[in-house]
Structure 1
């Protein structure tokens, strides 16, 4: 018994150390956002002498940061909504219906996990230019949706296949059609998988730098990663503003993770215990 308690204490100690190591950069970023640039360089690891909101005021007044936030929120939320809609329908179809080319269709989605979308950046740019979506947030939404569907279908198909078929049979005996079985019976049971898909794709769309750099030139349409690039001058940078922007940009991701963390953890550990 004593050995078990000692082993558990060691595990807790390791977990606390891991949390400390992971949280320290975040705490340092937040504290630095309340300092001046000079104080950041002279006392980078200390608490601010005075907790000043001046970096946030300058960020809000000198840079259209509110536009960056709105653009990132719009792109990420719409992308996640489209991915959840299309990937859940596709996964339900693949998991519950048998047909001659179901294996090929499932493999077609898996190919999307193997081939990086960035390899097709030139055809993608030509396509977006031809349909008039360059310098538009919808170009990012379409690209993120296409890149997020393969991993989402892979995750959700596995979850749908774990659900007992008797649930569907009972629902159909009560008069439910295919969509009602999907929407009312099965979808609520795979909330852990939906939470996992939501967090993965939200973070991917929120943090992406590459595609906004290629497709967005208008200042009013820039997302946070590209907008933050403008805070770095050719010869100097206002690091207090940069840390303030990083702090603000991290808040939505933290909020999304806190909302869906339970489902995310259940989704990652599903199948580990019978």
Structure 2
């Protein structure tokens, strides 16, 4: 059977890998199934029945309660903050990556190393200075309080990805553009930026997923529901002595759906962008 498969150009069946794949599928899928199933339960059923039991009937009351509450305000804030942050990250990281990848200048490698080193800085180490800065400039508890920190914390890995991607673009394009009288900015905007579309898509998708789920900065830099993002919507269903577990998991389900759709359609671009520069052909 293996010889026949090799002659046809197909990969031989490996039961061990197939079994590991099924185990990994179960590990990654069952938590989401649990969240969705519990979101359709009432509070009484959640506490009286087994944890993994399916709901006796689909109770849409939790979803109606969430949607009629402040969910859309949180959603609007998340779309606003994440959208602007991702656009700024893509533009700034693309310009910086072009400089590091194509323009040779003194201490360029050292500066690039310092930028990449920002990837290993713990986010919590910068929390207090950022909080004090945001309060001093008068942006605390506004939608704009999160954009600056989000952009700054997303730039190191974005610059790293795009720099490795732009290094693969042929140098002959630079020479041809220079012969036509193009300067560095025009070369970047007319050649490198369009040719880096796969890398830009990777950066946009990766940062959208990361910032959509960000909690700690949103919690520290905002204080009222009018300016908070979706990860903080869970606090609306948590009291001092009890929590509405089904409603909270309903919020988790609604919050996760956009990320699942984005990653389902963009996972190939993310993988290719992450692997850019690792292989030379």
TM-score (norm 1): 0.90
Deviations 1:76-121 (A, max 9, x none): 1111111000001000011100111312321231232232343233
Q: Tell me if structure 1 keeps the 8 A contact 2:206–2:270.
A: no
Deviations 1:119-157 (A, max 9, x none): 233332222122110011211110010011011111111
Q: Which residue of 2 aligns with 1:44?
A: 51
Q: Secondary structure at the match of 2:240?
A: coil
Q: Tell me if structure 1 keeps the 8 A contact 2:233–2:251.
A: no
Name the stretch that deviates more: 91-100 or 176-185. 176-185
Q: Distance in 1 between matches of 2:130 and 2:191?
A: 38
Does 1:12 find its partner at 2:18?
A: yes
Q: Which residue of 1 aligns with 2:225?
A: 219
Which residues of structure 1 form unaligned runs of 5+? none
Does 1:198 find its partner at 2:204?
A: yes
Aligned pair count reads 273
Q: How far is the alpha carbon of 1:194 from its aligned partner?
A: 2.2
Q: Tell me if structure 2 keeps the 8 A contact 1:192–1:262.
A: no
Q: Tell me if structure 1 keeps the 8 A contact 2:161–2:274.
A: no
Q: Distance in 2 between matches of 1:114 and 1:59?
A: 37
Which residues of structure 2 form unaligned runs of 5+? none
Q: Which residue of 1 aligns with 2:66?
A: 59
Q: Tell me if structure 2 keeps the 8 A contact 1:191–1:263.
A: no
Relative to total residues, which structure has the larger helix share, 1 or 2?
1
For 1:141-152, list aligned pairs within 5 A. 141-152=147-158
Name the stretch that deviates more: 231-240 or 118-127. 118-127
Q: Secondary structure at the match of 1:50?
A: coil
Q: Distance in 2 between matches of 1:43 and 1:66?
A: 32
Q: Distance in 1 between matches of 2:236 and 2:65?
A: 14
TM-score (norm 2): 0.88
Q: Distance in 1 between matches of 2:268 and 2:85?
A: 22
Q: Secondary structure at the match of 2:34?
A: helix
Equivalent of 2:235 in 196, 220, 229: 229
Q: How far is the alpha carbon of 1:243 from its aligned partner?
A: 1.1
Q: Which residue of 2 aligns with 1:243?
A: 249
Instruction: Compute the RMSD of aligned alpha carbons.
Output: 2.2
Q: Distance in 2 between matches of 1:108 and 1:21?
A: 37
Q: Which residue of 1 aligns with 2:2?
A: 2
Q: Which residue of 2 aligns with 1:186?
A: 192
Q: Distance in 1 between matches of 2:161 and 2:237?
A: 38
Q: Judging changes above 3 Å, is the alpha-carbon distance between structure 1 residues 268 and 7 closer, same or farther for their aligned structure 2 residues?
A: farther
Q: Judging changes above 3 Å, is the alpha-carbon distance between structure 1 residues 95 and 6 closer, same or farther for their aligned structure 2 residues?
A: closer
Q: Tell me if structure 2 keeps the 8 A contact 1:80–1:145.
A: yes
